[in-house]
A and B are shown apart, each in its own frame.
Chain A
């Protein structure tokens, strides 16, 4: 019983935890494209900043991923 509940918890932890970062990554990408279209000469700097922001948003989703594996191990 605990085993199957922990698998369910793992799925929920990753699924729900991925919603926020997914929205964040979408916003970061969209806003970067908007800014690049407005100021194409800044494209290089914007891209660097975009990757840093993407990495920070992605880390939150990956924390959920690691948590899911920890929860799956609960017997």
Chain B
């Protein structure tokens, strides 16, 4: 297996962001733009003919939006959660379209780079804290970090832990999405490298090469599943954070 390390290095360089046009547009920015246009087109086409009984693409869009509204927002936050549908819904569908775009051979997911996911996670952080401050006032929201009915030294410690955990949230939220998409592509690439190397190695290798090929097909199916799950997880964690801000202080 000589040269495997070199091929993996080439694979990782292939996944790095490179400038596409002079003037700053990089690979991942280009695919973010493609996903943005796709998402926009999908919803414009879906909402063009609104009828009481939706069919075709409109039906798919309605199912998706009802899923976000009912099984995420209403289940977690309660009936008042419906007002956050524009924000959480946009996040869910934009992440989903980005993840799915990366599964087309030759394409890369816009979410497969730290720059994108860190930006979104910081955006979520700002939005849920703003919701908390808007509902409880700056002082009221800050006071909700201080647990009631506990001795002061312990309460201070708990408040410190709470504040630290709030600042870790954008970090884990961004790393989770990025690492899932990135790792998925590296795994698919590595099984591809195995297949080609075994196929070129010897006659017996041609038979063994079917194993990594089969594994690659299975992993591809798994990656489709991961694309949905990660969009769901990003959106549901956003919902949970918003819920924490809306109901700050009642626990």
Where the two chains meet, the residues of A that have a C-beta atom closer than 8 Å to any C-beta of B are: 44-45, 48, 51-52, 54-56, 58-59, 62-63, 65-66
Instruction: Please report whether the interface of chain B is mostly helix, strand, loop or mixed according to DSSP.
Output: helix
Where the two chains meet, the residues of B that have a C-beta atom closer than 8 Å to any C-beta of A are: 71-72, 75-76, 172, 175-176, 179-180, 183, 229, 232-233, 236-237, 240
- Chain A residues, CB < 8 A from B175: 59, 62-63, 66
Instruction: Please report whether the interface of chain A is mostly helix, strand, loop or mixed according to DSSP.
Output: helix
- Chain B residues, CB < 8 A from A65: 179, 183
- Chain A residues, CB < 8 A from B172: 56, 59, 63
Name B240's contact: one of A45, A52, A63 (CB within 8 Å): A52
- Chain A residues, CB < 8 A from B229: 51
- Chain A residues, CB < 8 A from B180: 58, 62
Name A51's contact: one of B176, B179, B183, B236 (CB within 8 Å): B236
- Chain A residues, CB < 8 A from B71: 44, 48
- Chain B residues, CB < 8 A from A55: 176, 233, 236-237
What's the nearest-Cβ distance from chain A to residue B56, in Å?
Answer: 27
Q: Which residue of B lies closest to A54 (CB)?
A: B233
Provide the bound-state CA to CA distance between A59 and B232, in Å.
15
